[in-house]
Amino acid sequence: MLPLDDLLVFDLSRVLSGPYCSMYLGDFGARVVKLERPGEGDDTRGYGPPFVAGEACYFLSVNRNKESLALDLKRPEGLALARQIATRADVVLENFRPGALARLGLGPAELLALNPRLIYASISGFGHHGDPAHTPRPGYDLVVQGLGGIPSITGPADGPPSKVGTSIADMVAGMYALIGILVALHARTRTGRGQHVDVSMLDGQVSLLTYHAASFLMAGEAPRRLGNAHPSVAPYETFQASDGWLNIAVGNDSLWRTFARDILGRPELATDPSYATNAARVERHAELMAWLAPLVRARPVADWLAALEAAGIPCGPILDVGQALAHPAVRARGMVTEVEHPTAGKLTMTGVPVRLSETPGSVRVAPPLLGQHSAALLAELCGVDAAAFAQLLEAGVVAVPG
């Protein structure tokens, strides 16, 4: 049994935030019907290079365990079929600009009226319920990251603000949508009613500020860029060794005493008032790094890691993407897996990051070709027979591969 295998998800989303959410619903068994535009499909089908056998790696990364229905919502016939599927769905997921689907009769109010048990999940840059002056604005990851404050505290202290290297605003919104959908489904078991799940990318970024926000809101201290140092813990940062980089995380005073005694060979630092407490080390961070950083640079990464691990000090190398994906801990957890694609052959991709002991998720089906399941889905969910489907196909309302 897969824990969500009794759910039908009608996924109207595209690009990253919505597909990232629906991928994990699919991993845990939900049947995900991905709606795409005939002829073009999801925008990310064209995001490349790189491509594999004509398929964009970007698209392939977030669209496994789904079925593709290529249906034109600009045509009345397409809209009617989409509404028919929505009446049977447990979840509708979308990430259009607020109001866009309502104008087509596919908004939350319209579909909840047709299907009162529906969970209608929306992801947008600034939410459906807020200041109307901001809701029409397109929410792109780069823009939302900047508005959310995280780039202001990311990057070298004397350098420019820096976005996070991955599309964190999109993916965090997708994860919050996943949480919202699961919470709303649980509520439905008690009330019998569906509801609208409204997720804002900006809300997600602000939520990640956590202790940085608390420093400002509670203590009036504006966080600043510190490179890879930590504003509240020291030494807890990235160090340059003689042949590379590593992270050293001395996360409490007990670890500091061990670090001073066993790594630095200076047990007197464990009781020196200038360094004995974390607060003192944070206050004297520049002084601490002035002598500690050159010390670390004198030896290679492997030497430091061996000594630190033997002493029980949290540490680790800085791996590139290939090294991270090859790491034994990553492989042992099944976070690299394989699946067979109908045209690209064997694909290697990341695995399922949440492990359940009794009903685990899995990567079962490769990302679909555009319109790969159009005929079968419309026959099953809408009663469209072969002759009617041929007419829709000829009219361009639906599409199939090729």
Which residue type sits at 185?
Answer: L
Measure the CA–CA gap between 201 and 361, rounded to whole angstroms: 26
The Cα-based distances of 76 to 71, 72, 112, 396 in angstroms read: 11, 9, 20, 12
Instruction: Provide the 8-state DSSP code for 98.
Output: T
Q: SS3 for 2-68, per residue?
A: CCCCCCEEEECCCCCHHHHHHHHHHHCCCEEEEEECCCCCCHHHHCCCCEECCEEHHHHHCCCCCEE
Write down the pLDDT at residue 136.
56
Write down the pLDDT at residue 402.
83
**List of residues 6+ apart from 61 with CB closer than 8 A:** 349, 350
**List of residues 6+ apart from 34 with CB closer than 8 A:** 11, 19, 22, 42, 63, 66, 67, 68, 69, 368
HSE at residue 305, side-chain half, CA atoms within 13 A, is: 15
What count of other Cβ atoms lies within 10 Å of the Cβ of residue 53?
10
Element (H, E) at 77: helix 76-88
Which residue type sits at 25?
Answer: L
User: Which of 217, 211, 248 is closest to 231 using CA atoms?
Assistant: 211
- Give the 3-state secondary structure of residue 270: helix
**List of residues 6+ apart from 352 with CB closer than 8 A:** 24, 27, 28, 334, 360, 361, 362, 363
**List of residues 6+ apart from 188 with CB closer than 8 A:** 117, 119, 194, 195
HSE at residue 358, side-chain half, CA atoms within 13 A, is: 1
pLDDT along the chain (402 residues), means of 10: 97 98 98 97 96 96 98 97 98 94 96 98 92 72 95 94 96 98 98 98 97 95 93 96 97 97 95 96 96 97 97 96 96 96 95 96 97 98 97 97 89
Write down the pLDDT at residue 139.
83
Measure the CA–CA gap between 234 and 31, rounded to whole angstroms: 48
User: Which of 315, 341, 333, 330 is closest to 401 using CA atoms?
Assistant: 341
User: Which of 353, 286, 377 is closest to 34 using CA atoms?
Assistant: 377
**Where do we find the tokens 């206050």?**
283
Cα-based torsion angle of the residue sequence 107, 100, 61, 164 in order, rounded to the nearest 10 degrees: -110
For the chain, domains (ranges, CATH) are: 8-207+327-399 (3.40.50.10540), 236-317 (3.30.1540.10)
Q: Which of 27, 72, 170, 203 is catalytic?
A: 170
Q: Which long-range contacts (CB under 8 A, 24 or more apart) does 321-325 make?
A: 325/350
Note whether 374 and 399 are within 8 A (CB). Answer: yes
CB burial string 251-266: b at 16+ within 10 A, e below: eebebbbbbbeebbee
Write down the pLDDT at residue 334.
95
Helices (H), 276-365: 278-283, 285-297, 301-311, 321-326, 328-332
> Which burial class, exposed, middle or buried, applies to 231 when counting CB atoms under 10 A from its CB (0-12, 13-18, 19+)?
middle
Which residue type sits at 15?
Answer: V
170 is catalytic: yes
C-alpha Rg value of the chain to the nearest Å? 25
